[in-house]
Each structure stands twice: as C-alpha cells, then as structure tokens.
Amino acid sequence: MGGIFGKSKKQPSRVTEQDKAVLQLKQQRDKIKQYQKRIEQSLEKDRALAIQCLNKGQRERAKLILRKKKYQENLLATTDKELETLEKLTSDLEFSQVQQQVIDGLKVGNEALKKIHEVLTIEEVERIMDESREGVEKQQEIDTLIASGILSSEDEDAVAAELEELVASTLPAIDEDIDEKLPEIPTEEPEIEKKKKKEKERHQEERVALEA
Amino acid sequence: MTESEFDFPWEYNFPPFFTIQKHAETRKQQFLRWKELILAYAKHKNQAIININDESELFHNNKINRTLDRESREMILNELCNSSNAARVNKNTGTYEIYWLTIEEWSNVIYTYALNSGMTNSVLTFFELLNGDDSKDQEFHQLNEQVFMKALKHLETKGKCEIMEIDGSFGVKFF
C-alpha cells in the first residue's frame, strides 16, 4: 500500500502469521494470569472477612462468604487448566516454527549442493583436466625453447671453459704425483705397542701357572 | 509492596543546595549533584514521570524548609534532557520522562536479556517482559511502558526487533 507517494518501506515485515497467532495466545495467557492474581487476592480477603464474621458471631454470613470463596477456588482451578492448554498450544506453535526453519535451512543447503553438482559434471572435470595437461605440456615446450634459445652452442663451450678456469684458480692444484710426497705407510707395528703386547702375554702365562 | 525509603544525599540537607549558585564552577557541580539526585530518586521510586509543578519531597525539603523554585527545576531538567536522561512530555503541565538509563542503554539491556535467554526469533508480550516472573530480577522489570516502548522502537530502527500490536496490547519479536 501507500502508492507512489508512500514511503518506500525499508524492509518487509519479518513478522509472520504464526507470530501473530503466538502473540494472541500469549496475550490470552497474560490475561488469565492477571485474572488469577485478582482471584487470589480476593480469596485472601474473603478468608479474613469470614474470620471477622465468625468473631462477631455471624455464622451464616461467614458460611456465605466461604461459599463464594469455594466457588472462586473452583474458577481458579479451571483457569489453571485453561492456562495449561494455552501454554501447550503456544509451545507447539513455536516448536513447529523452529522445525520449519530447520526444513528451510535444509532446503537451501540442498539447493546449493545441487547447483554445485550442476557445475561439476564429469565431462567438465575431464575437460578441465585435459586442459591443464595441455597447459603443462605447453609450459615444458616453452621451457626448452627458452633454454636453447638464449645460449648458442658456442656460448655453452665458453661457459664450460670459464667453469674450468674457476675451478683451477680457486681450488689448490691437486698434484697428480701426490703419492710421491706422502710418507711411506709403515708395514710393522710401532715399537711401544710391541712391548705392551709382550708383557700381556707374559702376564697370562704367570696366571695360568698360579692356577695350576 | 513494601518500599524502602529513599536515601537522600547529604546535599539535600544543605540549604544552599536549593538556591542556584552564582559562581559558574560551583553551579556546575550543583547541577551535577541535582541531576544525580533526580536520577537516583526516580530509579528508586521506579518513577518514570516527574512533574516539576508537583510539590514532591524531591524538590522540597521539609526538614530544613527549603524548596527549589520552579525556574531552577526547569533548568536542571533541561540539563537532564541534554544528556539524554530526560525528555519533555508536555511543556504546559511541566511533565518530564526520566531515563536513569538512557533509551540507548535501556535498549541494550533489554536486547542483551533477550539474547541471553534465547528469546530471539520468538514472540513475547510486553506484559510478560515487564511483569512476568521470568524478568523479575531484570533492571527493566516494571519499567514504565512508554519508556520501554521507546527503547524497543530504538531497537526496531536497528533491525533487532519488531513491535507488534493486537487489540491495543503490544508484543515484540527479537531478531
């Protein structure tokens, strides 16, 4: 509503028909609660009044008041039952609203999943895989082209020569005749070791003698 | 209901407190104290409406026989309006709404309560929020309905709730 001159409403109302029903139920509940409060108060007053009448010796009047009190107590019990029904209905309504939200959520999730699957067909995946393989091959081709394109074979020779030169200048010259400069490898055991061995042998002999 | 007596601050028994001070610095302090006093008094009595024409004990101390005159009352109430702690309801009758919490603060308190008690997305009546057993220990319990309404309207502009009305009684749905 509102037509051309109406304010453009910022948002559609988020209040649903169910919300309105819940509100009505809850308002009804509030009314019953207020009613109960009132009855409870009048019950207390009646009790006090009945006691007063008894003290004054007005038995009949006291009885009348008690009768009224009894009637109101019955009313209270009835409203309690009504309240229970109302509250049960309200929570049922609220619970089904929650359930509806769950179902809505599931629906959205399902839709999204379907859409994703639409995009991801087997042919599509095959096509993508093919394309990427082609891409890799092409890249390799490019690599070899670039590598061979920049340096000619002469350049490669020059690079090799430079490498030789560098090796020669940085590493100490490894002599071919290095064997001649090294001392001879001894063929006998060193003197000290020999002595020790001999002593050990002697020791063992002595011990054997003792044991015998 | 048994209502405990309001504990007036010492200034209340200090005669010069009832006369607007000339010295600017002193007056500033005096206004500040008066503002505090009015807010504390309104909160204690849960009294959302103050009429500056009423001979309330708030502006009149019988014990020391001092009264804050009408003009001064208006000045102080205007100060309260400036700090969002009050709003003029009717100029002719001299009534003001008093917000010991500002509307913004009230709306936060209410919304926090709704969030913490898991009441978002469900419908509640004003009656159960203001007078229900569940909100008994809440600050906004038995708050003036006009003030409560303003706080909720504030929330509504932020999209945090929507006020509903059926047969002249109100409900609210928090989001």
ipTM of the shown complex: 0.76
pLDDT over 90 at A7, yes or no = no
* Structure confidence at residue A159 (pLDDT): 86
Residue A6 — very low, low, confident or very high, per pLDDT cuts 50/70/90?
A: very low
* Arithmetic mean of pLDDT, B9-25: 89
Q: Which of A14, A24, A101 is the closest to B166 by Cβ?
A: A24
Interface of A with B (CB under 8 A): 11, 13-15, 19-20, 22-24, 26-27, 30, 34, 94, 97, 101
* Structure confidence at residue B160 (pLDDT): 92
* Structure confidence at residue A1 (pLDDT): 45
For the beta carbon of residue B106, count every other beta carbon within 10 angstroms. 22
Contact B130/A at CB under 8 A: no
* Structure confidence at residue B130 (pLDDT): 92
Please report residues of B whose CB lies closer than 8 A to that of A20: 164, 166
Structure pTM? 0.64
Mean pLDDT in chain B? 90
* Arithmetic mean of pLDDT, A105-121: 90
Instruction: Look at B164 and A22 and tell me if their CB atoms are within 8 Å.
Output: no
Mutation target for A interface from B121, B123, B164, B166: give the one with most A CBs within 10 A.
B123
Q: Which domains does chain B have, with CATH numbers?
A: 10-98 (1.10.10.570), 103-174 (1.10.10.10)
Residues of chain A with pLDDT > 70: what percent? 84
* Arithmetic mean of pLDDT, A58-66: 89
* Arithmetic mean of pLDDT, A70-92: 92
- Render pLDDT for B49-69 as a digit per residue (tens, 0 to 9): 999 888 888 898 888 988 888
Token representation of residue A139: 């890249």
Residue B3 — very low, low, confident or very high, per pLDDT cuts 50/70/90?
A: low
Residue of A nearest to B161 (CA): A14
- Render pLDDT for A137-160 as a digit per residue (tens, 0 to 9): 999 888 888 776 666 778 888 888
pLDDT over 90 at A190, yes or no = no
Residue B153 — very low, low, confident or very high, per pLDDT cuts 50/70/90?
A: very high
Gap between the Cα atoms of A103 and A110, Å rounded: 10
Distance from CA of A40 to the nearest CA of B (A): 16
* Structure confidence at residue A172 (pLDDT): 67
pLDDT over 90 at B99, yes or no = yes
Q: Which of B121, B125, B162 is the closest to A13 by Cβ?
A: B162
Contact B138/A at CB under 8 A: no
Q: Which of B122, B128, B164 is the closest to A94 by Cβ?
A: B122
* Structure confidence at residue B56 (pLDDT): 86
* Structure confidence at residue A3 (pLDDT): 45
pLDDT over 90 at B85, yes or no = yes
* Arithmetic mean of pLDDT, A162-191: 76
* Arithmetic mean of pLDDT, B155-162: 92
Lowest mean pLDDT across A47-56, A178-187, B96-105: A178-187
Q: Which of A14, A94, A97 is the closest to B175 by Cβ?
A: A14
